[in-house]
Structure 1
């Protein structure tokens, strides 16, 4: 151990190490451990990314991955610019740090640089908690803006109140002065992120279809429990650096801290498994994962002072609180948290922060007693809630009115991969299209874009072929239905027309295009021989001009004309006609009523009126009529000389 570091000079074997050399080597070892731990904490970003990406639908997984990347990098920038100064700079009587040397990291020594690297990973963790809670419905631009506010203001201010004396004494770190204990951030990091996530979820509202009309929640399963479980395990590994690195040096405390962390995470997972099986009868992956993370979050506050048995208990209670807390948020508050971040980070964080006052050795409690320490812990978590939730809600409320932080309903249905990144992943879009098809809501003209090399390329092509076949079948069926309807209409009209006693004909430009059975009987020819002939072929010579004039009138009046039958006989008929639309084109319909019986009856009635019914001789009426006619003829000069 004496020769760890740069113990060689000029190639010579060094002698015994001096006190200054020992201090230098120890300082370098501490710095190395802090930077290694920072790397482990940074790996938690990968864990969060995989956890959240697996717990959302595939159509939103790219968006979730981008949010986890961008909240970290933008958080680094914001924390470097002002966050680190606010959190750990000298306050000089102000509410938080404002030391100009820390502004944009202008004047940091080597140790402070390592300390910044470790702390910025904590800041990234707090910021990324919000990502999963608001997944599948928040605009990426609004989320990035929120990450800047989180990393540059909300998180650093509370860090200053709780940990502001980490580098040098600060009177404004009032929670630390009171004896508030939160070793690695159950409240400072996790509850801060959880309360901001709660505020964001309340402002943005639930996902489409998350709640039924009666308010009961609908489980929206993630597309890959394998990814989410892998992410949870990576978080477990990262927690070794999260808690172990918070010693800020290599000491005898590192191993017990990591041991307590592992015990609590393992116990939380077991509790999540048991509760999940009891509640659901099956093992839903999110229950085991939430139990694990709840146990890890809870033990983070007191992992440095708890004994192994207490760590197991804190892990068990933290895991249970995470699961029941998420159920409370979803079923009672009816708030949609896509990944259960509120229960895991906010509720379990508060639980662990309070439990250390009840389970840690009394001699390790700064307040000197359990109730006194519990009071201090309650003050700390209360201040954290009011600050984080209050400022978070105010920010998202204002942002929603200025820029609308939620995507449109159409974009939410299509998925944020497509709406915000113009990229598809998986077969979710094909599944949605098939669901629309089976639900009877599909547009048969819809075709999905086939992207070469895409994992859904073949399935998309098959869907488009299916739509082609269905559309062709629907078109053929539509044509058959149209023909059937036309035939039915024609049969119905023909039946009505044939049921009449009048002869009906339809002609266009004088050419007969249709008629009824009575027309054939009247003319004395089969109807098939009449169709196609001119209407004037069945008129007596001399009637054509008169009939043509009648057709121009297009009135509803009756006109008496003479029709020439096929056998040469000429008969009087009463004709009426008008213009109509027939099969989409203008035509004229005519009705012909045979007047022979009427004429015969009129002639018979006239004979009876003018002759004696017994003798058949002309009577006085006929005599008077004939006399009147003769007198008239005489008056016209046609009488006898």
Structure 2
């Protein structure tokens, strides 16, 4: 290899390396703000892992001495390679390995746990990618293929199959195991796209990837040969064709030129031409890029119909367009290879089937097993608040502004000020927001003066409101709030439902069933008062209370569980007194919610949000006589209480959820406002 060849390949390796920045921009811009930092750290982490593991294991499996055309057996964690050419080749191939690994990041964004992502990356770069790469690309010292696919005549010039389809196949396997993001598909089955945090950043990423692709395809000539200009021209033309056809087909079917499909159509065209850019002329490149753009559009829509959630479209861009590129070699490149179209198409199809079985199906089996041992998905609570904060503790100016707003909505503390700066958009919002707060403070002061003049009327109003609303809520309304609505970042909701009450009510006189409700709910009211919790409402034979909403309790979750244990005890005691079995089902969940007062003729204080829905669904799926709780509850109070996994169920409107049974406290006694309770030893059932 001449000096100019070495310089060219190293330059191309640098261009391929820059594609990592492009992937990061694409993924960070297309994900929601609360997850974009998580995507960025995944990109730099997977590249770093892939380089080191490729040096330690992958390169040897891929290009070491072949064992029956199946895998390499030398050059593991090499100390030196001997020749400069070998180092140049390793650096170039390491960039390809990093590209295959990072394809996964965008597909699994917004719900894959960081530790799980690193494990999947390690599996990809130490086993899946290098083994298939050996089958397709490994050669002996004379340059003759030694992998079984290469010997058979399989052609993949720059990695449409080896890099992109393999990486996309692993991405498909991962998103099938993980499942869709919360809220991605409505109950009706209709898909819903989330707004990306910065689409111009995504477009910049596409340009960076496109620019880096000149190194991807141009460097695969393994020298600055006369073939390079044609390779670069085909790369340029196919990408442009993919953009226009992606835009065009979205314009026809969606009645608007989609930015998403314009960008991904271009990437699909680039992936498709990669397999045979050394075989085609410009006319074929235009056609192959155009079909690549169409494959991306229809592939993405097919995944949506199957309720498969691919955040950035990685499967349609890399896996499906990569397979199309391999197929195009057999359709248009046989003459350049000196073979018949039929025979070349046959071996290309064999390669396609191998990729599907090895990377997609094999990857799915591996990840399904891994998910049983090491859950790949973050908890629902972390997914709700975002992986930036939930996994990495990475706050932003926007989050800080939201926190101030939420505290003010909860505490009515208008003296607090938002972070402000004239140099950032969020800082400017904070500046104007603080100006509004200043005016609100002045207005509030004037309102207080008016309230003094209306003291007698307000006292009457307060008496009336306290008879129908929680005292603290009534007080806030009397302070001048015509509308009560709070966004609570953390609270605990509990649903209690009497088991088989309908059958009981049908078998006794109405007075008896009403008496049972009155007496039992009266006991519940005493428990709620004892624990300083808030009763929200009763609906039929259901009773709902909440902690951490109308007053601040740092341990509100544990308090709510203690109250639930007491309710179980009181229910069973009443059943013993009646001479019949009396049971309730209890569902508990913690998380953010919205609380407020509604109604004109009659005020009602109520709660809304996924936390309320989750607690209700857990109660419905729970076991009579048991306290059923979500993962979020167990994460908070697991060390204080005895609990065990109850089941994994599919909750309506929520999806697959693990439910736990809480058996009791681990301590001998628990303290209430009235003293120490009289039951619950650590080895005693409820």
Distance change >3 Å, CA 174–CA 482, structure 1 → 2: farther
- Structure 1 pair 451–392 and aligned structure 2 pair: CA distance change class (3 A): farther
Instruction: Output the aligned Cα RMSD.
Output: 3.2
The answer to whether 1:284 aligns with 2:258 is yes
Which structure is higher in strand share? 2
Q: Match for 1:369 among 322, 340, 343?
A: 340
Change (3 A) 1:217 1:464: farther
Counterpart in the other structure of 1:404: 375
Cα gap change, 1:187/1:390 in structure 2, threshold over 3 Å: closer, same or farther? same
2:642 — aligned with what?
A: none
Determine if the alignment matches structure 1 residue 160 to structure 2 residue 134.
Answer: yes
What is the match of residue 243 of structure 2? 269
For the pair 1:383 / 2:358, whether they are aligned, the reply is: no
The within-5 A match list for 1:72-151 is 72-93=47-68, 95-99=70-74, 101-151=75-125
Q: Is the 8 A contact 2:62 2:138 kept in 1?
A: yes
Q: Which residue of 1 aligns with 2:268?
A: 294
Instruction: Give the Cα–Cα distance (whole angstroms) in 1 for the partners of residues 144 and 73 of structure 2.
Output: 11
Number of the residue aligned with 2:26: 51
Q: Distance in 1 between matches of 2:72 and 2:417?
A: 54
Residues 376/472 of structure 1: CA separation in 2 closer, same or farther (3 Å cut)? farther
Counterpart-to-counterpart distance in 2, 1:133 and 1:174: 31
Which residue of 2 is the match for residue 552 of structure 1? none
Contact 1:87 1:156 in 2 (8 A): yes
Gaps of 5+ in 1: 1-25, 491-641
> Are the equivalent residues in 1 in contact too, given 2:420–2:426 (CA < 8 A)?
no
> How many Å separate the matches in 2 of 1:197 and 1:88?
24
Q: For residue 340 of structure 1, what is the aligned residue in structure 2?
A: 313
Mapped partners of 1:287, 1:133: distance in 2: 15
Residue 415 (1) aligns with residue 397 (2): no
Task: Please show how residues 22-41 of structure 1 align to structure 2 within 5 Å.
Answer: 27-41=2-16
Corresponding residue for residue 189 of structure 1:
163
Q: Deviations over 1:141-173 (max 9, x none)?
A: 111121111111110000000001165568750
User: Where does 1:288-327 land on structure 2 (aligned, <5 Å)?
Assistant: 288-327=262-301
How many Å apart are 1:409 and its aligned residue?
A: 1.6
Identify if the C-alpha distance between structure 1 residues 409 and 251 changes in structure 2 by more than 3 Å, giving closer, same or farther: same
Alpha-carbon separation, structure 1, partners of 2:301 and 2:403 = 28
Cα 1:414–1:347, aligned 2, differ >3 Å: closer, same or farther? same
| Deviation, structure 1 residue 422 | 1.5
Distance 1:428 1:365 in 2: 57
- Answer yes or no: is the 8 Å Cα contact 2:397–2:427 preserved in 1: no
**Preserved contact between residue 90 and residue 170 of structure 1 (Cα < 8 Å):** no
In structure 2, the CA distance between the partners of 1:402 and 1:478, relative to structure 1 (3 Å rule), is farther
Q: Distance in 2 between matches of 1:271 and 1:140?
A: 36
- 8 Å contact from structure 1 (residues 162, 180) kept in 2: yes
Whole-Å separation in 2 of the counterparts to 1:426 and 1:330? 34
Q: Retained in 2: the 8 A contact 1:75–1:123?
A: yes
> How many angstroms does 1:390 deviate by?
2.6
CA distance 1:359–1:480, change in 2 (3 Å): farther
Q: SS of the residue aligned with 2:77?
A: helix
1: CA distance between counterparts of 2:257 and 2:48? 36
Partner of residue 325, structure 2: 352
Give the alignment's TM-score, normalised by structure 1: 0.66
Mapped to 2, the partners of 1:41 and 1:244 lie a distance apart of 10
> Equivalent residue for 1:634?
none
In 2: Cα distance, 1:324 partner to 1:228 partner: 21
Which whole-Å CA distance do the structure 2 matches of 1:175 and 1:212 have between them? 44
Equivalent position SS for 1:405: coil
Q: Which residue of 2 aligns with 1:19?
A: none
**Structure 2: how far apart are the matches of 1:396 and 1:62?**
25
Q: Distance in 2 between matches of 1:312 and 1:414?
A: 44
Does structure 2 retain, via aligned residues, the 8 Å contact 1:318–1:348? yes
8 Å Cα contact 1:88-1:167 kept in structure 2? no
1:249-307 deviation line (CA, Å, top 9, x unaligned): 11111111111111100111111111122222223211110110000000000100101
Q: 2:303 aligns with which of 329, 333, 349?
A: 329
Looking at structure 2, the residues matched to 41 and 171 of structure 1 have their Cα atoms a distance apart, in angstroms, of 24
Indicate the SS of the match to 2:129: helix
Report what 1:560 is aligned to.
none
Per-residue CA deviations over 1:329-385 (Å, capped at 9, x if unaligned) read 112x2111000000000000000110121122x43235x211111110000011011
| Structure 2 counterpart SS, 1:297 | helix
TM-score by length of 2: 0.62
CA offsets, 1:180-217, max 9 Å, x none?
01000111100011110011101111111111001110
Contact 1:50 1:227 in 2 (8 A): yes
Cα deviation, residue 458, structure 1: 5.6
Question: Which has the greater radius of gyration?
Answer: 1
Deviation of 1:308 after TM superposition, in Å, equals 0.9
Distance verdict in 2 for CA 1:449–1:207, change over 3 Å:
farther
Residues of 2 paired with 1:27 and 1:76: CA distance? Answer: 26
Within 1, Cα distance between the matches of 2:198 and 2:311? Answer: 14
CA distance in 2, matches of 1:145, 1:246: 29
2:42 matched to 1:67? yes
**Offset, 1:423:** 1.8
**2:140/2:146 contact within 8 Å kept:** no
Please name the residue that 2:518 is paired with: none
In 2, the alpha carbon distance for the partners of 1:317 and 1:223 equals 29
Tell me if structure 2 keeps the 8 A contact 1:87–1:159: yes
State the shift of 1:245 in Å.
0.3
Task: Determine the C-alpha separation between the residues in 2 that align with 1:109 and 1:164.
Answer: 18
- SS for the counterpart of 1:218 is coil
Q: How far apart are residue 437 of structure 1 and its match?
A: 11
Write the deviation string for residues 106-131 of structure 1: whole angstroms up to 9, x where unpaired: 43421111100000100010000000
Separation in 2 of the partners of 1:205 and 1:472? 49
Taking a change above 3 Å as real, the CA distance of residues 364 and 280 of structure 1, as seen in their structure-2 partners, is: same
Paired residues of 1:93 and 1:171 also in contact (CA < 8 A): no
Per the alignment, in what secondary structure is the counterpart of residue 427 of structure 1?
A: helix
Partner Cα separation in structure 1 for residue 384 and residue 37 of structure 2: 15
Unpaired runs of at least 5, structure 2: 468-686
- Partner residue, 1:456: 426
Distance 2:390 2:432 in 1: 24
Cα shift readout 1:516-567 (whole Å, capped 9, x = no counterpart)? xxxxxxxxxxxxxxxxxxxxxxxxxxxxxxxxxxxxxxxxxxxxxxxxxxxx
Distance 1:482 1:269 in 2: 68
Q: CA contact under 8 A between 1:354 and 1:374: conserved in structure 2?
A: yes
Query: Residues 303 and 487 from structure 1, CA distance in 2 versus in 1: closer, same or farther, beyond 3 angstroms?
Result: closer
- Kindly state the Cα deviation for residue 483 of structure 1 after the two structures are TM-superposed: 3.2
